[in-house]
Structure 1
């Protein structure tokens, strides 16, 4: 693994960081204050992102994306992650890679509008009674002639309010295994406006103001068989193939916010004077900076290594879980220590630190909790030994 950036990767970092600082930072205060993204602001930033070549840059070139390798994509995600989540996720959208699993007809109907910025997608897995235990989902789909009829509820569904359609995972059967019955899962495209499909406001969230989550309700919602994504009963296989790298995406955006918090803490430690000297000269502060920098570097190396291995075809589930676990927990530590260094001023909204601190909390929960990541890592360690 080469630890230096290529000329192209350096350009990606510089271009994305400049865009974030000039086009996203100026709007953070508004979004934090109102908790809302104005439609006209979305379109304004969206157009600039497209002009800069940053919109949907995670996708392959043959569908209109930038065709970035995984490590370059993670570097791009880190820079976007410096900004308010709602701003970078909505206005510099990255359509879900799972859309690439669709048939040519499905790509035309669902992927192309996302690439053009005409709509957004959302993924619906989580249920009120089934969070990390996706096999415990109760929402189901039953075949009726050439259609499928969907019933049940999903919640915590990101961006469903603005999405034109949802990719919904439903239980479609059951099979016996040595560990007992296991549900078979199928993925479906469900268009907004389909009879029996209702999107309701979700919950108020302490993290990521401007970001929305919704409750999706399915009441005898009928969709044609042509809207099955992948194969029937193979929904988990589709998800595992196309969504595995989302843990790395969370890791990378967490690194961006951690780096921003560390930057503020370092500058303040050099500028603030107490007892006749810079506070950074006191061990109580300088040692904090050293620990923060070390945690960030360790998280970066785990994330970049997993990204590099992803492109080599050698990445493991544990590699991605380690990156997600370390980066999200490093972000929480760095955000907290940055506020401690600033004292009371760190909790004021004149600085982004209190937002970064609040936003950090959800990163250890979504896309797999820290406990789930530890389970994956330890399971991979023990399996060769019969555990």
Structure 2
């Protein structure tokens, strides 16, 4: 494993950062103050992202993406992560890799339009009573002849308001296991406008303004068997096969924001003077900077190692959980310390620090809480010992 980016990776880093600084940073204030990302702005930035080769870069070359290996993709995600989440996620969309699991017909209808920027997808798993415990979902899809009838509610569904379709996970039965009955899950494509499928406005969120969530309601929503993604009762297998690196994506985007906050703190500490000298001369500030730099580097190394191992086929669940856990907790610490170094100005919206601080909170919750990540890590440690 080499610790320096390759020439190609450095080009990806430089190109992505330049795009973020030129095309996304100027619009952050608008989105932050209104809590809304106008569709006309999305349509303005989209073609620029495509021209730069950044749109749908997570996808393989054979379907029109950039074909990045996992490590290069994480470097790209880190640079995008420096910007307001709604701006980088929507204007430089990365369609869900689970779309690759679709049939040829499903790829034509869903995958390729997303890669071309003609459609957006959303992923619906979480329910009001089933967050981390997906096996506890109560929304169902019951077979009725050649169709399935969906009933139930999903919530916290990101950007479902602009999505043209949802990939929805529903309980389709039960099976007996040594630990009792276990839900069987199936994934479905559900087009917006399908009778019985309603998208309602979600909750006001302290993190990621402009990046919306929604409540999805299914009331006798009838779908043909052709809407099944993968196989019936194999929804978790589809998710595990195609969504494995999402924790690393969260780690990478968190690192982008942590580094941006750190850069502001470092620059400010070198310029700001109190009691006749730069505040960076005070141990109370200089030690904070040292700790921030140390933790960012540690989180970077964990994330890059997990990405590299993912490409080698040797990554473990614990590797990805360690990266996600460390990066998100480092982001929280760095954001808080950066504000402390700036004092009162750190809380003003003239700087991105108060946003980064707010946005950091959700990262320890979605894609598996910090507690879930610790459970995965400890389970991997104890399993060989019979624990």
SS of the aligned residue for 2:16 comes to helix
Q: Distance in 2 between matches of 1:295 and 1:344?
A: 24
Instruction: Name 2:142's counterpart in structure 1.
Output: 142
Instruction: Name 1:184's counterpart in structure 2.
Output: 184
Instruction: Name 2:19's counterpart in structure 1.
Output: 19
Instruction: Name 1:386's counterpart in structure 2.
Output: 386
Q: Distance in 2 between matches of 1:38 and 1:190?
A: 25
Instruction: Name 2:112's counterpart in structure 1.
Output: 112
Give 1:278 deviation, angstroms.
0.5
SS of the aligned residue for 1:198 comes to strand
Q: Distance in 2 between matches of 1:322 and 1:260?
A: 22
2:197 matched to 1:197?
yes
Instruction: Name 1:324's counterpart in structure 2.
Output: 324
Instruction: Name 2:208's counterpart in structure 1.
Output: 208
Q: TM-score, normalised by structure 2?
A: 1.00
Q: Distance in 2 between matches of 1:275 and 1:160?
A: 52
Instruction: Name 2:366's counterpart in structure 1.
Output: 366
Counterparts of 1:8-157 in structure 2, within 5 Å, are 8-157=8-157
Give 1:119 deviation, angstroms.
1.1
Q: Distance in 1 between matches of 2:377 and 2:176?
A: 26
Give 1:270 deviation, angstroms.
0.2
Task: Deviation per CA, 1:251-290: give whole Å up to 9, x if none.
Answer: 0000000000000000000000011110001000000000
Give 1:231 deviation, angstroms.
0.8
How many equivalent residue pairs? 387
SS of the aligned residue for 1:58 comes to coil
2:316 matched to 1:290?
no
Q: Distance in 1 between matches of 2:151 and 2:323?
A: 36
Q: Distance in 1 between matches of 2:224 and 2:381?
A: 43
Instruction: Name 1:277's counterpart in structure 2.
Output: 277
Task: Deviation per CA, 1:283-340: give whole Å up to 9, x if none.
Answer: 0000000000000000000000000000000000000000000000000000000000
Q: Distance in 2 between matches of 1:229 and 1:130?
A: 21
Instruction: Name 2:304's counterpart in structure 1.
Output: 304
Q: Distance in 2 between matches of 1:88 and 1:344?
A: 28
Root-mean-square deviation (CA, aligned residues, Å) is: 0.4
Q: Distance in 2 between matches of 1:39 and 1:122?
A: 17
Unaligned runs of 5+ in 2: none
Instruction: Name 2:169's counterpart in structure 1.
Output: 169
Unaligned runs of 5+ in 1: none
